[in-house]
Amino acid sequence: MRIRPLTVGSMAVCCYIVACEETGKGIIIDPGGNEAEILALCAEEQVTVEYIVNTHGHPDHVCGNARIKAATGAEILMHAADAEFFARPEVQQYFSMLGLAASPPVDHTVQDGDLVRFGQQALKVLHTPGHTPGGICLYQKPHLFTGDTLFVGGVGRGDFPGGDTTTLMRSIQDRLLTLPDDTVVWPGHGYGGSRSTIGEERRANPYLHEPW
Protein backbone atom coordinates (compact mmCIF):
# COMPACT_ATOMS: atom_id res chain seq x y z
CA MET A 1 0.00 0.00 0.00
CA ARG A 2 1.40 3.36 -1.08
CA ILE A 3 0.53 6.48 0.95
CA ARG A 4 1.05 10.02 -0.30
CA PRO A 5 0.15 12.74 2.24
CA LEU A 6 -0.67 16.32 1.28
CA THR A 7 -1.64 19.34 3.36
CA VAL A 8 -4.51 21.08 1.61
CA GLY A 9 -6.98 23.92 1.87
CA SER A 10 -7.36 27.00 4.00
CA MET A 11 -7.59 24.91 7.19
CA ALA A 12 -4.50 22.77 6.53
CA VAL A 13 -6.24 19.43 6.27
CA CYS A 14 -4.12 16.31 5.95
CA CYS A 15 -5.33 14.63 2.77
CA TYR A 16 -4.06 11.20 1.77
CA ILE A 17 -3.80 9.43 -1.57
CA VAL A 18 -3.68 5.74 -0.75
CA ALA A 19 -3.05 3.29 -3.57
CA CYS A 20 -2.59 -0.39 -4.27
CA GLU A 21 0.96 -0.93 -5.55
CA GLU A 22 -0.04 -3.89 -7.71
CA THR A 23 -3.04 -2.40 -9.54
CA GLY A 24 -2.70 1.37 -9.25
CA LYS A 25 -6.24 1.64 -7.92
CA GLY A 26 -6.66 3.96 -4.98
CA ILE A 27 -8.68 6.26 -2.78
CA ILE A 28 -8.44 9.86 -1.65
CA ILE A 29 -9.07 10.51 2.02
CA ASP A 30 -10.42 13.97 2.93
CA PRO A 31 -9.81 16.17 -0.12
CA GLY A 32 -10.17 19.49 1.69
CA GLY A 33 -8.93 21.81 -1.05
CA ASN A 34 -6.04 22.11 -3.52
CA GLU A 35 -7.93 19.83 -5.88
CA ALA A 36 -5.64 20.55 -8.84
CA GLU A 37 -2.62 19.51 -6.77
CA ILE A 38 -4.36 16.32 -5.64
CA LEU A 39 -5.35 15.42 -9.18
CA ALA A 40 -1.88 16.19 -10.53
CA LEU A 41 -0.27 13.91 -7.95
CA CYS A 42 -2.75 11.13 -8.77
CA ALA A 43 -1.79 11.49 -12.46
CA GLU A 44 1.90 11.55 -11.63
CA GLU A 45 1.57 8.43 -9.49
CA GLN A 46 -0.74 6.79 -12.08
CA VAL A 47 -3.45 6.25 -9.47
CA THR A 48 -6.95 5.37 -10.65
CA VAL A 49 -9.16 6.94 -7.99
CA GLU A 50 -12.08 4.68 -7.12
CA TYR A 51 -13.38 6.32 -3.95
CA ILE A 52 -13.31 9.59 -2.07
CA VAL A 53 -13.50 8.66 1.61
CA ASN A 54 -14.44 11.29 4.18
CA THR A 55 -13.45 10.65 7.78
CA HIS A 56 -16.29 13.01 8.72
CA GLY A 57 -18.56 15.59 7.16
CA HIS A 58 -17.04 18.92 8.22
CA PRO A 59 -16.63 21.22 5.22
CA ASP A 60 -12.85 21.54 5.59
CA HIS A 61 -12.59 17.79 4.91
CA VAL A 62 -15.19 17.51 2.13
CA CYS A 63 -14.98 20.77 0.19
CA GLY A 64 -12.97 19.13 -2.60
CA ASN A 65 -15.38 16.24 -3.08
CA ALA A 66 -17.35 17.73 -5.98
CA ARG A 67 -14.35 18.66 -8.12
CA ILE A 68 -12.49 15.40 -7.45
CA LYS A 69 -15.62 13.39 -8.25
CA ALA A 70 -16.22 15.33 -11.46
CA ALA A 71 -12.62 14.79 -12.60
CA THR A 72 -12.27 11.12 -11.69
CA GLY A 73 -15.74 9.59 -11.45
CA ALA A 74 -14.84 8.37 -7.97
CA GLU A 75 -17.69 7.58 -5.60
CA ILE A 76 -18.03 9.43 -2.29
CA LEU A 77 -18.10 7.36 0.91
CA MET A 78 -19.08 8.63 4.36
CA HIS A 79 -20.44 7.04 7.51
CA ALA A 80 -24.23 6.86 7.44
CA ALA A 81 -24.61 8.99 10.58
CA ASP A 82 -22.63 11.89 9.09
CA ALA A 83 -24.28 11.57 5.68
CA GLU A 84 -27.61 12.09 7.42
CA PHE A 85 -26.45 14.74 9.90
CA PHE A 86 -24.68 16.97 7.39
CA ALA A 87 -27.62 16.81 4.97
CA ARG A 88 -29.82 18.66 7.49
CA PRO A 89 -30.49 22.26 6.39
CA GLU A 90 -29.83 23.70 9.85
CA VAL A 91 -26.47 21.92 10.04
CA GLN A 92 -25.49 23.10 6.58
CA GLN A 93 -26.45 26.64 7.53
CA TYR A 94 -24.30 26.53 10.68
CA PHE A 95 -21.19 25.27 8.92
CA SER A 96 -21.65 27.63 5.97
CA MET A 97 -19.92 30.22 8.18
CA LEU A 98 -16.65 28.53 7.23
CA GLY A 99 -17.14 29.65 3.64
CA LEU A 100 -16.35 26.18 2.28
CA ALA A 101 -18.41 24.00 -0.02
CA ALA A 102 -20.45 21.18 1.43
CA SER A 103 -20.15 17.72 -0.10
CA PRO A 104 -22.49 16.60 -2.84
CA PRO A 105 -24.76 13.74 -1.76
CA VAL A 106 -22.71 10.68 -0.92
CA ASP A 107 -22.80 7.69 -3.24
CA HIS A 108 -22.51 5.04 -0.54
CA THR A 109 -22.60 5.05 3.25
CA VAL A 110 -20.35 2.90 5.40
CA GLN A 111 -20.75 1.37 8.83
CA ASP A 112 -18.37 0.12 11.50
CA GLY A 113 -16.47 -2.93 10.29
CA ASP A 114 -16.97 -2.31 6.57
CA LEU A 115 -13.99 -2.71 4.25
CA VAL A 116 -13.12 -0.06 1.69
CA ARG A 117 -11.49 -2.09 -1.09
CA PHE A 118 -9.23 -0.74 -3.82
CA GLY A 119 -7.26 -3.13 -5.94
CA GLN A 120 -5.76 -5.78 -3.68
CA GLN A 121 -5.91 -3.53 -0.62
CA ALA A 122 -8.62 -2.75 1.92
CA LEU A 123 -9.04 -0.37 4.83
CA LYS A 124 -11.35 -1.29 7.71
CA VAL A 125 -13.86 1.30 8.89
CA LEU A 126 -13.72 2.04 12.63
CA HIS A 127 -16.66 4.15 13.78
CA THR A 128 -15.26 6.70 16.24
CA PRO A 129 -18.04 9.19 17.04
CA GLY A 130 -17.51 12.24 19.20
CA HIS A 131 -16.05 14.87 16.89
CA THR A 132 -19.08 14.22 14.70
CA PRO A 133 -21.80 11.56 14.95
CA GLY A 134 -20.36 9.56 12.08
CA GLY A 135 -16.65 10.15 12.45
CA ILE A 136 -14.53 7.24 11.28
CA CYS A 137 -10.95 6.06 11.26
CA LEU A 138 -9.55 3.76 8.57
CA TYR A 139 -7.25 0.89 9.50
CA GLN A 140 -4.98 -1.59 7.82
CA LYS A 141 -2.18 -2.83 10.03
CA PRO A 142 0.07 -0.95 10.70
CA HIS A 143 -1.62 2.19 9.29
CA LEU A 144 -4.44 4.17 10.91
CA PHE A 145 -5.99 7.27 9.34
CA THR A 146 -7.58 9.08 12.26
CA GLY A 147 -9.27 12.12 10.73
CA ASP A 148 -10.14 14.59 13.49
CA THR A 149 -10.59 11.90 16.14
CA LEU A 150 -6.93 11.76 17.21
CA PHE A 151 -4.08 14.15 16.41
CA VAL A 152 -0.39 14.01 17.27
CA GLY A 153 -0.45 15.19 20.86
CA GLY A 154 -4.10 16.20 20.67
CA VAL A 155 -7.68 15.13 20.08
CA GLY A 156 -10.57 16.50 18.07
CA ARG A 157 -13.03 19.08 19.32
CA GLY A 158 -16.33 18.02 20.79
CA ASP A 159 -18.03 21.40 20.95
CA PHE A 160 -19.35 21.69 17.38
CA PRO A 161 -22.94 20.68 16.61
CA GLY A 162 -23.14 16.91 16.71
CA GLY A 163 -20.00 16.60 18.82
CA ASP A 164 -19.54 15.26 22.33
CA THR A 165 -16.20 15.15 24.13
CA THR A 166 -17.09 12.22 26.40
CA THR A 167 -18.11 10.16 23.39
CA LEU A 168 -14.93 11.17 21.56
CA MET A 169 -12.66 10.11 24.40
CA ARG A 170 -14.49 6.81 24.75
CA SER A 171 -13.99 6.20 21.02
CA ILE A 172 -10.26 6.86 21.35
CA GLN A 173 -9.89 4.66 24.43
CA ASP A 174 -12.00 1.76 23.17
CA ARG A 175 -11.30 1.75 19.43
CA LEU A 176 -7.84 3.26 18.92
CA LEU A 177 -5.73 2.74 22.04
CA THR A 178 -6.52 -0.97 21.86
CA LEU A 179 -4.53 -1.22 18.61
CA PRO A 180 -0.85 -2.29 18.63
CA ASP A 181 1.71 0.25 19.85
CA ASP A 182 3.45 0.34 16.45
CA THR A 183 0.27 1.41 14.65
CA VAL A 184 1.13 4.50 12.57
CA VAL A 185 -1.21 7.42 13.22
CA TRP A 186 -1.94 9.56 10.16
CA PRO A 187 -4.00 12.50 11.53
CA GLY A 188 -6.55 14.78 9.89
CA HIS A 189 -4.53 17.91 10.77
CA GLY A 190 -0.83 18.20 11.52
CA TYR A 191 -1.18 20.41 14.58
CA GLY A 192 1.37 18.44 16.58
CA GLY A 193 3.16 16.70 13.74
CA SER A 194 2.50 14.82 10.55
CA ARG A 195 2.44 11.33 12.06
CA SER A 196 2.90 9.38 15.27
CA THR A 197 2.17 5.94 16.69
CA ILE A 198 -0.51 4.64 19.01
CA GLY A 199 2.18 3.77 21.54
CA GLU A 200 3.55 7.30 21.51
CA GLU A 201 0.09 8.84 21.83
CA ARG A 202 -0.80 6.52 24.70
CA ARG A 203 2.41 7.54 26.46
CA ALA A 204 2.68 11.26 25.71
CA ASN A 205 -0.61 12.73 24.51
CA PRO A 206 -1.63 15.00 27.40
CA TYR A 207 -5.34 14.91 26.52
CA LEU A 208 -5.43 11.15 27.04
CA HIS A 209 -4.32 11.55 30.66
CA GLU A 210 -6.96 14.06 31.70
CA PRO A 211 -10.22 13.08 33.42
CA TRP A 212 -13.20 13.20 31.09
Show the beta-strand stretches assigned E in 54-205: 75-79, 108-110, 115-118, 121-127, 136-140, 143-147, 150-151, 154-155, 184-187, 196-197
| pLDDT tens readout for residues 37-71 | 999 999 999 999 999 999 999 999 999 999 999 99
pTM value surpassing 0.95: yes
pLDDT-based confidence at residue 212 (cuts at 50, 70, 90):
low
For the chain, percent of residues with pLDDT exceeding 70: 99
Q: Where are the domains of the chain?
A: 2-209
Q: What CATH number belongs to 2-209?
A: 3.60.15.10
